[in-house]
Structure 1
Amino acid sequence: MNTWRARLLPPALAIAFSVVLCSLVLVVSGANPAQALAEMVLQVGRGSTVADILNTAGAYYLVAIAAAIGFQMNLLNIGIEGQFRLGACAAAIVGGSLSLPSGLHALVVVLTGALVGAAWSGIAALLKVYRGVSEVISTIMLNTLSIGLIAYLVRVFGEFRGNTQGTALIPETGWVPGIPLGGGTVFGLVLLAVAVGVGYAAMMDRTRYGFELRASGLSPTAALAGGVNSRRMVLTAMLLSGAIAGLAGLPEILGRDHTFTINFSSGYGFAGLAIALLGRNHPLGVAFGALLWSFLDKSSLTLDNIGVPKEIVTILQGAIVLSVVIAYELVRRRELAAEQRRVGRALGTAAVPGGAKA
């Protein structure tokens, strides 16, 4: 019971605090907080909003799981944005240049995205393992490099369609059919995010590798003493993180656009870090965070239509990220104090935090 309280209470407190903060901002700006909140909720039932939320949440979930794998052993993979976009670009190029049977074509595209994402993150992993370069620095630099590389690839392998330059269109044999929902269509590869989540949960809870991953994050020294190869863990964790990040753009490419353009979605990688933090790296918590983040993204559009500044959503998202860190620390200290009191009662002493006796 205490474990679930420790997991659920901090995000709930963070969201509540953020709502209060944004309500104050709305009041100061002359807007009606109740009207804005009602509009955010009501928009879910209109048109294709539900499908749009699920589609965006699927991409958010994949990048957040990629971030969570790194967080499990205290690796900060800032390069998820570059891995996500480069994997999507390479997958679209390969998909547009091949002619394969249905099913196999889409599978090759998916594998290409995963392999390219893994290879790009593998550069940072190798630099960390063999040269001691911080993954934070190397992945930030790789993000910048990916921008130029993507522009080069689109120019060399792409073509102009109207005012937009993009890769060759993927033939229909490489498309993944969607699922009609409400007034929209959910990308078929959103189910890939579900599969990744199930696999991540099984890996962390049911396999030796998951145990070693957690152990390496909690205490690298103890893990090393227990026979865990730290180099192998860093390499495999970064490769796995990059591979999942490389999948995040494929639902959109194979389900709707069938090409990678220079205007392809961006910002998912950095949002994934925040969502993983909000979900505490737990597969269900991350799923909730992805849905919440996607819901807020769509809310910015509807708020703009009723005269409420859409930037209020950005404030809300930023406040959630900042306050969730504080909330987790407050709850952790509260749980620690409660545990010390229970131990004190069991020992017949009035133990208090800090080791003193009353």
Structure 2
Amino acid sequence: MKKFAKIDKERLLLGLAAPVLALLAAFIVTSLVLLATGKQPFDAFQIMGSYGVKSDSQVYILNKATTYYLAGLAVAIGFRMNLFNIGVDGQYRLAAFVAAVVGGAVSLPSFLELPLIIIVAMLVGAAWAGLAGLLKVGRGVSEVIATIMLNSIATAIIGYLLQPGRLAHLDANTNSVHTTVLPKSGWFFTFTANPAAGPIEGFIVIAALAGVGYWFVLNRTRFGFDLRTVGQSESAAQASGVNVKRMVVTSMLISGAVAGLVGMPTLLNESHQYATDFPTGIGFTGIAIALLGRNHPAGIAVGALLWAFLDRTSNWLEFNGYDKEIVGVMQGVIVLSVVVAYELVRRYGLGRQQRRVGEELAAAAARKTTVKEEVTA
């Protein structure tokens, strides 16, 4: 019992060592960058901290983190399968566009309108990601190449259809092109704890449920076990009876379905239409956040909140005379530090396990020798 408690304690310490080491390394490197630009690092951190804890900043961070969290989950599903779904960006944009068109074309009660829009978005995202999965298992095309090309195709499709006279309209007042505005029944609910700080988007509830579902399926179901097994070793999984090709396609479908939710907070809680200024690039941010969170739902949540915090404080840093790009440097350094720190801790833990096994084998050999000597005597 004491032996297992010691092992669990070591695992806990190693698990905590990686993020602490990563944050320490990111703090040191960022401080050096700030010093190189002639700025005091502690002043910058104090400015970021004081602005980030304001009530309106907290609401902004929660709303932004909701979108980032969904993007991180979509990428993490592929990562756990050893698949690099780099096409989340195209999947969520195409899904949001089609969902906006469908939602704007019908007028149903809210309890029908909202599920319709969300389901359409998930189906479109799943179908777009599923194409990459089929190309991989059917023709051996790398999912990285396939999803990159599908991103470009999605951009072209949206650009073609998002034009006046097709599936969009020209707003004479703002000179912007957008789809039909969703009816009020297609607007998602919000929370307003502090009217001065603004509303918290209700889609945060859906994001939390998606995270719980991700954890449950991955850790408490046969499908999740098979998914993790295939991600660790395809040959071993196939030898145990797992249909690897089916798992690849299924994982890409699920990843794409979650990616379809990424644009929903913006569509249902903010813009209520798809316009030329719809947010882009969130899928690539999701890659960094999944890496930060080590594909764990709780870790992804922390990474999403951290990324949203840095986004929020970047403008305030610029207002106080700092280069806005400093935050971009911070984000890049944090990702690199996390990747390097976790790899160092992993190797250290593996080395300790190997030494422990060697010691146990040596002890067993010594006991065996002692027994033989006693029998001989």
**Counterpart mapping for 1:94-109 below 5 A:** 94-109=102-117
Answer yes or no: is 1:75 the counterpart of 2:83.
yes
3-state DSSP of counterpart to 2:63: helix
Q: Secondary structure at the match of 1:160?
A: strand
TM-score (norm 2): 0.90
Q: Secondary structure at the match of 1:130?
A: helix
Residue in 2 aligned with 1:355? none
Relative to structure 1, the CA distance from residue 200 to residue 138 in structure 2 (aligned partners, 3 Å threshold; closer, same or farther) is: same
> Which one-letter code corresponds to 2:300 in the other structure?
V
Report what 2:160 is aligned to.
152
The reply to whether residue 230 of structure 1 matches residue 244 of structure 2 is yes
| Identity across the alignment (%) | 48
1:232-263, CA deviations, whole angstroms, 9 ceiling, x for partnerless residues? 10010000000100101101111121011111
AA aligned opposite 1:221:
S
User: Cα distance, 1:339 vs. partner?
Assistant: 1.5
Amino acid at match of 1:277: L
Alpha-carbon distance between aligned partners in 2 of 1:146 and 1:5, rounded to the nearest angstrom? 45
Q: Does 1:179 find its partner at 2:200?
A: no
The letter for the 2-side match of 1:186 is I
Which residue in the other structure is 2:176 paired with? 164
**Residue type of the alignment partner of 1:174:** G
CA distance in 1, matches of 2:60, 2:111: 24
- Alignment pair present for 1:110 and 2:122: no
Cα displacement (A) at 1:47:
4.9
Check if 1:132 corresponds to 2:140: yes
Q: 1:134-283 counterparts in 2 under 5 A?
A: 134-155=142-163, 156-161=166-171, 162-182=174-194, 183-283=197-297
**2:170 counterpart letter in structure 1:** F
**Distance of aligned partners of 1:328 and 1:47 in 2 relative to their CA distance in 1, 3 Å threshold:** closer
Paired residue type of 2:127: A
What amino acid sits opposite 2:167 in the alignment? Answer: F
Q: 2 CA distance for matches of 1:164 and 1:34?
A: 43
SS at match of 2:278: coil
Distance 1:94 1:254 in 2: 13
Compare CA radii of gyration and give the structure with the larger one: 2
> What is the rounded CA distance, in whole Å, between the counterparts of 2:78 and 2:344 in structure 1?
24
1:285 matched to 2:293? The reply is no
Could you tell me how far 1:327 is from its partner in structure 2? Answer: 1.1
Q: What does residue 52 of structure 2 align with?
A: 44
- The Cα shift of 1:77 comes to 0.4
- Tell me the TM-score normalized by structure 1: 0.95
Task: For 1:90 and 1:51, locate their aligned partners in 2 and report how far apart those are by CA, in whole Å.
Answer: 28
Aligned partner of 1:325 in structure 2 is 339
Deviation at 1:56, TM superposition (A): 0.9
Q: CA deviation at 1:18?
A: 1.5
2-structure distance, mates of 1:224, 1:66: 25
Amino acid at match of 1:163: N
Q: Distance in 1 between matches of 2:175 and 2:193?
A: 31
- In the alignment, what sits opposite 2:5? none
One-letter amino acid of the counterpart of residue 170, structure 1: L
- The one-letter amino acid paired with 1:54 is L
Give the counterpart letter for 2:147 in structure 1. Answer: T
Structure 1 unaligned residues grouped into runs of 5+: 350-358
What is the distance in 1 between the residues matched to 2:255 and 2:226?
A: 16
Task: Kindly tell me the number of residue pairs found equivalent between the two proteins.
Answer: 350
SS in 1 for 2:22: helix
| CA 1:252–1:181: 2 relative to 1, 3 Å | farther
Letter in 2 for 1:334: Y
1:156-185: CA deviation from partner (whole Å, max 9, x where unpaired) = 211122122111100001111111144121
Deviation of 1:11 after TM superposition, in Å, equals: 2.7
Q: CA–CA distance in 2 between the matches of 1:326 and 1:45?
A: 29
1:308 and 2:308 matched? no
Question: Aligned equivalents of 2:332 and 2:111: distance in 1?
Answer: 40
Distance across 1 between alignment mates of 2:31 and 2:359: 43
- The 3-state SS of whatever aligns with 2:151 is helix
Report what 1:16 is aligned to: 24
Q: Which runs of 4+ in 1 moved over 6 A?
A: none
2: CA distance between counterparts of 1:26 and 1:256? 35
Matched, 1:66 2:74: yes
Alignment match, 2:374: none
